[in-house]
Structures are given as C-alpha cells and as structure tokens.
Structure 1
Amino acid sequence: MAKVHPSNAGVPEPATTSSSTSRAASVEEEQPTVLTVWRKSLLFNCDGFTVFDAKGNLAFRVDSYGSGRRAEVVLMDVAGKALLTIRRKKLSLAEHWVIYDGDAAAADKAKAKPLLSVRRRVSLRASKALAHVTPLQVQGSSISSTEAYVVEGSYGRRACAVRDAHGNAVAEVRRKESVGDDVFRLVADPRLGAPLAMGLVITLDEMFGGSARSLLRRTWSA
C-alpha cells in the first residue's frame, strides 16, 4: 500500500461532491488535484478502482461485481455514496457512454442528470484522438455547455489527456514510476473537477482497458 498512494505533501485534496457556484467563482485560483488511481477494488471478488488523495487517504472507489462488458459503473465516495453513474448507450455503432450525476439507476429516468457524453473515435484515418467528450448538462459548474473536449494519447500506456478547444489539458493520466500499469496518477484541473475526471478514467478503462475480462476489449485497444 505504501507504493500505491502518493507520498508528496502539499497537493490539494480532491472534491468529492458536485460543483457549486462558489467553486466556479474561485476556480481560477485553485490548483490541479493530483490523485493516485489503483485499478483494483478493496472488496473481495470485486473489480474496480481505489483512488487515493495526495495524503494517502481514500478519496473515491469503484466496486463492481461480476466480469465481462458492463453496462453501468458507479463512482462512489469513501462512505459508498454514488457520485457519478457511467452508463453505456445501447444500440450505438461506436462505444458511447454517458456520465450522470449521482445514482442514475436509483433516480427516475426523467430526473437523471446527464453531465458528459463520451464517444470513442472511430475512423480509418490516423489520429492521436481516442474519444470525444461533450458536456450535456452542467448547471452550477464552470464547464461551458457548448465546449467539447478531445481525449488524446494512449490510455493503455497511461499517457493521455483530456483537452479543450484551445489544447489546454483539463485532465491527465500519467504513469507512476516503479509501480506498474495498474497504479497511475490522475491530474484534474479545477475546471473539470476530480469526480468528473475520474468518471472519464472509468469510461476510458471500459473502452481501452485491455483487461483479461474481455477479449474484444483487448482487440480494440491494440
């Protein structure tokens, strides 16, 4: 565990709640949040993620039972409260996921609040783009409802970034030295926020994870 969570002090802890108007007002003064992501659930016989803040404290968790291609993944806080629901769109020609606020499974469909749409890029032309991200409903957030993002790089190599229209990174996945591919760093800009950045990581892992639970997924990520 000492090798998993970061040891550097002085990095701000991630926010584990939805964005507020006060957060949007001070977003320019905030520093990026640095998280350590462990691609493993702490629960027995579960698949998922365990995420630590800069002090080594548990920040987020994902605990998914069963194997195979999932239709829905839930990001939780330390207490097990659902922060985001990441859901696969059915009958889509390309991989298409939608990130909802809170527990979308428990909420009425009409009340479920979609935040981001994530589509895997499908093209025969060479490109460094992996996926395209479109904000859907971002009330009380600093994210523009008209601004789209692109994911570039390689998730499999743990070297990718979510960039805005100006090329600025709002989230980055970086390798963590001497640990392996199952432990890596996530840097979240305050414009996006730590929960949504982690939601995008979960989506990318479903698209490009290359885990043993799906031969098709390994083929796509090659």
Structure 2
Amino acid sequence: MHLYSLIIVSLGRMMSKVYPQQRTASSNLMGYGRETYTIWMKSLIFHSNGCTVYNSNGDIVYRVDNYDKKGTTQVNLMDLQGRVLCTIHKRFLGFGGWDVYKCISHEKAWFQVKRCYNKMMIMGKVTWQIMLGCQKYSIHRIGGKIAFMIINIDGDVVASAKQKHTSSGIVLGNDVLTLEVEADVDHSLIMAFVTVFGLICGRM
C-alpha cells in the first residue's frame, strides 16, 4: 500500500474514534437551537494544524486549517467546502488582542478579544473579554487548560466545553472536546469565539 493510502486509512480510523458515524457536511451553519458539537483538535489537511467540528448528527460543519505553526497570528474559520466564515488576526500593538473579521474582509472588525487584567488573575482565574458592538462576552477556563465556558453580559453561560466521553464512558484524548451551545445564539459566532480561544492557548 502506498504511503498516501496509508495516511488516508490512518486518518479515517482516527476520525471514526472521534465520531463513529461520520457523515457529510451540514448546510445549517446559522442554527440557533441548542446543539452539542464535537471538536477534534486536528485539521482535515495532512501536516496542517487546526480543528474539525462535528454536530450532533456526526456532520462536519466547521474546520480550521492552519498551514503555519501552532499559535499563528492569523487563521480562517471555514465550512467543510472551504468557504471562509471569518478571519482571525492577532494584534501586537498596545496590550495585544485579537480582531475577527467576517469572511475575508478587513474593513471593520466583527468583534475583538482581549485578555482581562484584573483581580481575577491574582486568584488564578484568567479570563478573556469579547467586544461585539454593544454586546460583551467573556471566556473562562474551568479547572485545567481544556475545559472552558463562554458567558454573556448578563452572566448566562451560552456555551461550555469539556473533554469528551463516549456513550460507554470512555474518556477520549485531550484533543477531543464536547461543546454545548445553548439556544438563541449564533453558532457560527460561538465557533469564532472557540477558534480564538484555541489560538490563545496555542492548540491550533
């Protein structure tokens, strides 16, 4: 068997463990109902960093392919066909931060993310603040480096992620997460938040 064929077979086996009944892409990227996603911190492209996101039906709905080293300064969040949903760019001026643009336009940032420098850091709880027009969100780590939650300005949890367990109770690796997204929130927006957080943590 040729090397390329071995790579495809190996990738398929890994994906089957992450989501046993893998299907095709879902066309509903703007869902607002409650949804459970599986985030696999692997790119679909060989020798590329990034992540692949499945919905509760096993459909691939989002992906990030980073051809540079992990923690790069710019990546694109895409659907399965490669259509760019948003571009994420790291700022170095001032205290740093991240600017996120819809599609590939850099005319005006969709939202911005910056690290919070306050008393929470003294307590060992580092948070990141998200500014989306007049709306505010924050990202909080839970326990270790893997689990986190996203909270809106009213203090409601709109999404949370933790290490994935299979239906039989087997704990998967720390590169496979379960992401719970609450109803009445743009899932593409939440995935953009999650992508920024993955870059902040150097995971893609």
Same-fold status (TM-score > 0.5): yes
Paired residues of 1:15 and 1:193 also in contact (CA < 8 A): no
- What is the TM-score when the length of structure 1 is the normalising length? 0.71
> Within 5 Å, which residues of 2 pair with 1:200-219?
200-209=193-202, 211=203
Paired residues of 1:5 and 1:54 also in contact (CA < 8 A): no
Per the alignment, in what secondary structure is the counterpart of residue 174 of structure 1? Answer: strand
Per the alignment, in what secondary structure is the counterpart of residue 185 of structure 1? Answer: strand
Paired residues of 2:89 and 2:100 also in contact (CA < 8 A): yes
Paired residues of 1:158 and 1:181 also in contact (CA < 8 A): yes
Per the alignment, in what secondary structure is the counterpart of residue 86 of structure 1? Answer: strand
1:3 equivalent in alignment to 2:17:
yes
Displacement of 1:156 in angstroms is 5.2
Amino acid across the alignment from 2:112: S
Q: Tell me the residue number matched to 1:218.
A: none
Amino acid across the alignment from 2:113: V
Q: Tell me the residue number matched to 1:153.
A: 141
**After TM superposition, what 4+ stretches of structure 1 lie above 3 angstroms from structure 2?**
154-157
Q: CA RMSD in A?
A: 2.5
Q: Tell me the residue number matched to 1:78.
A: 80
Provide the C-alpha distance between the structure 2 equivalents of 1:189 and 1:15, rounded to a whole number of angstroms.
Answer: 16
Provide the C-alpha distance between the structure 1 equivalents of 2:193 and 2:143, rounded to a whole number of angstroms.
Answer: 11
Question: How many residue pairs were aligned?
Answer: 179
Per the alignment, in what secondary structure is the counterpart of residue 3 of structure 1? Answer: helix
Correspondent of 1:41 among 35, 40, 43: 43
1:164 equivalent in alignment to 2:152:
yes
Q: Tell me the residue number matched to 1:199.
A: 192
Paired residues of 2:71 and 2:200 also in contact (CA < 8 A): no
Per the alignment, in what secondary structure is the counterpart of residue 159 of structure 2? Answer: strand
Amino acid across the alignment from 2:29: T
1:116 equivalent in alignment to 2:111:
yes
Deviations 1:164-196 (A, max 9, x none): 222211121122021111000122234432211
Paired residues of 2:33 and 2:184 also in contact (CA < 8 A): no
Paired residues of 2:146 and 2:163 also in contact (CA < 8 A): yes
